[in-house]
């Protein structure tokens, strides 16, 4: 297998920085492009990783990058990720998550780069008609964020037909946890995700966390999600990279544990891990939240020989807590 360069777009973000660190630890040549709108330069902890600050829509910059490097696969993490914001400001999402990546794809086509790994999402399925969710489940997103990703999946399929672009669309469920040494972890601003908000409330960094809805048709009335450890996601990207470098066909698969965990179960896990009470209030449902999102992860096992190694919700919470109490206290400087 050749040691060509992997371009990681959005590699200074949460999932990207963990994947970049894993790839670097495997002695792979990695170049990160990130405009740092939400990412952190400090999240790239390996000196061997080259970094360029810039946007995926900057065609002259892309031409320079593809001309000067022997890039065979692009891993594309860069996107806006806030579902609620996508409902209020859909064009922001369609521009950055769907339209701008077309510029990246045009540059790839023109420079003969034919491998693409996409951060897709469980949001492409919308309100599930059957759980666990298999990849053949109807694709009916219920928000612009989900549509922005689904449209990009379709664009990738069309590029395969037209010029042989091979893609791996990885539909993540709920990313969580950290590298584990406190140097990198989840640092979204604003933070909307459940596990970090629970831990921020425990630390007193936010006054309290709100449970969005207790009247769902689930055993304890709160929403059920499939929490997948960020290191398992990173591992799946390494495997997807090998799949594409080895001449594999385009694939689309779920990345989850296959296990559903409720919001209340996350609160219990947080109490157990930290030994502290969670300052919590019980509020209304958040618009657009399906009651249950749980992956059937068998296809990923079949096509990538990948499966989650962390399956206990307590592990995910403990790992997030390690980041928030580690040397950087859950914060990047820049
Ligand atoms: N976090 C989750 O639970 C989750 C679940 C499913 C899918 N995803 C997808 O995974 C990907 C990564 O998510 P994350 O949680 O790491 O988000 P993140 O915001 O931490 O990372 C995204 C990175 O992309 C960069 N970026 C955004 N637009 C850019 C542009 N135009 N040019 C260059 N860089 C740009 C940001 O600066 C940031 O560093 C996203 O595509 C997201 O939709 C995330
Ligand atoms: O302060 C909070 C935050 C969340 N929740 C609930 O916790 C669950 C998980 O929410 P969150 O952590 O915000 O993740 P999701 O909304 O499930 O979305 C994540 O997971 C999806 C895939 O399942 C991806 O598409 C999204 O990008 C990613 O943000 C949901 O039931 C929320 O209602 C709360 O009760 N209180």
pLDDT above 90 (res 285): yes
pLDDT of residue 334: 65
pLDDT of residue 1: 45
Q: Measure the CA–CA gap between 44 and 23, rounded to whole angstroms.
A: 12
Q: Do 101 and 148 form a contact (C-beta atoms < 8 A)?
A: no
Q: Measure the CA–CA gap between 210 and 212, rounded to whole angstroms.
A: 6
Share of the chain above pLDDT 70, in %: 99
Using CB distances shorter than 6 Å, the residues near ligand 2 are 81, 83, 121-123, 173-174, 192-194, 197, 209-212, 223, 225, 263, 286, 289, 293
Q: Measure the CA–CA gap between 90 and 122, rounded to whole angstroms.
A: 18
pLDDT of residue 3: 74
Residues in Cβ contact with 247 at an 8 Å cutoff, skipping those fewer than 6 apart: none
**pLDDT band at 114, cuts 50/70/90?**
very high
Mean pLDDT value across the chain: 97
pLDDT (tens digit per residue) in 137-149? 999 999 999 999 9
The verdict on the CB of residue 51 being under 6 Å from ligand 1 is: no
- What value of ipTM does the predicted structure carry? 0.98
What average pLDDT score do residues 175-184 get?
Answer: 97
pLDDT (tens digit per residue) in 290-329? 999 999 999 999 999 999 999 999 999 999 999 999 999 9
Atom of ligand 1 nearest to the CA of 40: 39
Give the 3-state secondary structure of 278-306.
Answer: CCEEEECCCCCCCCECCECCHHHHHHHCC
Q: Which two tokens stand for residue 158?
A: 């069309």
Q: How far is the CA of 86 from the centre of ligand 1 (A)?
A: 14
Per the document, the length of the chain is: 334
Active site (catalytic) residues: 145
Higher pLDDT, 62 or 333: 62
Q: Measure the CA–CA gap between 46 and 29, rounded to whole angstroms.
A: 11
Atom of ligand 2 nearest to the CA of 146: 25
What average pLDDT score do residues 14-37 get?
Answer: 98
pLDDT of residue 333: 85
pLDDT above 50 (res 231): yes
Q: How far is the CA of 261 from the centre of ligand 2 (A)?
A: 12
pLDDT above 90 (res 288): no
pLDDT (tens digit per residue) in 59-88? 999 999 999 999 999 999 999 999 889 999
Cα 157 to its chain centre, rounded Å, is 20
pLDDT (tens digit per residue) in 199-228? 999 999 999 999 999 999 999 999 999 999
Q: What is the DSSP letter of 133?
A: B
- How, if at all, do strands 166-172 and 30-34 pair? unpaired
To test the pocket of ligand 1, the residue of 8, 78, 172 to mutate (highest count of ligand atoms within 8 Å of its CB) is: 78
Q: How many CB atoms lie within 10 A of CB 232?
A: 24
């Amino acid at each position: 297998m050749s040691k060509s360069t992997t371009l990681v777009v959005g590699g200074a973000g949460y999932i990207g920085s963990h994947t970049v660190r894993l790839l670097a630890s495997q002695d792979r040549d990695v170049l990160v492009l990130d405009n740092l709108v939400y990412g952190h330069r400090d999240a790239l902890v390996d000196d061997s990783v080259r970094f360029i600050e810039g946007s995926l829509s900057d065609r002259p910059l892309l031409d320079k990058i593809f001309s000067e490097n022997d890039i065979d696969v692009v891993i594309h993490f860069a996107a806006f990720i806030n579902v609620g914001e996508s409902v209020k400001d859909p064009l922001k999402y369609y521009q950055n998550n769907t339209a701008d990546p077309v510029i990246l794809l045009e540059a790839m086509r023109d420079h003969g780069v034919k491998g693409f790994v996409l951060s897709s999402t469980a949001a492409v399925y919308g309100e599930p008609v059957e759980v666990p969710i298999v990849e053949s489940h109807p694709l009916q997103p219920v928000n612009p964020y989900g549509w922005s990703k689904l449209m990009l999946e379709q664009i990738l399929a069309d590029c395969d037909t037209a010029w042989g672009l091979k893609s791996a669309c990885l539909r993540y469920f709920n990313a969580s946890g950290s590298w584990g040494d406190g140097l990198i972890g989840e640092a979204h601003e604003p933070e909307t995700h459940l596990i970090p908000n629970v831990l921020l409330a425990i630390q007193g960094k936010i006054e309290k966390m709100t449970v969005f809805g207790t009247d769902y048709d689930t055993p304890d009335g709160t929403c059920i999600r499939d929490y997948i450890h960020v290191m398992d996601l990173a591992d799946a990207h390494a495997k997807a990279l090998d799949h594409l470098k080895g001449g594999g066909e385009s694939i689309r698969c779920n990345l989850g544990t296959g296990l559903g965990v409720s919001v209340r179960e996350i609160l219990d896990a947080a109490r157990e891990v930290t030994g502290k009470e969670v300052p919590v209030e019980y509020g209304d449902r958040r618009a657009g939240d399906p009651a249950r999102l749980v992956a059937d992860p068998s296809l990923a096992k079949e096509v990538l020989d990948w499966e989650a190694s962390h399956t206990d919700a307590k592990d995910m919470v403990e790992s997030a807590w390690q980041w928030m109490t580690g040397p950087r206290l859950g914060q990047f400087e820049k």
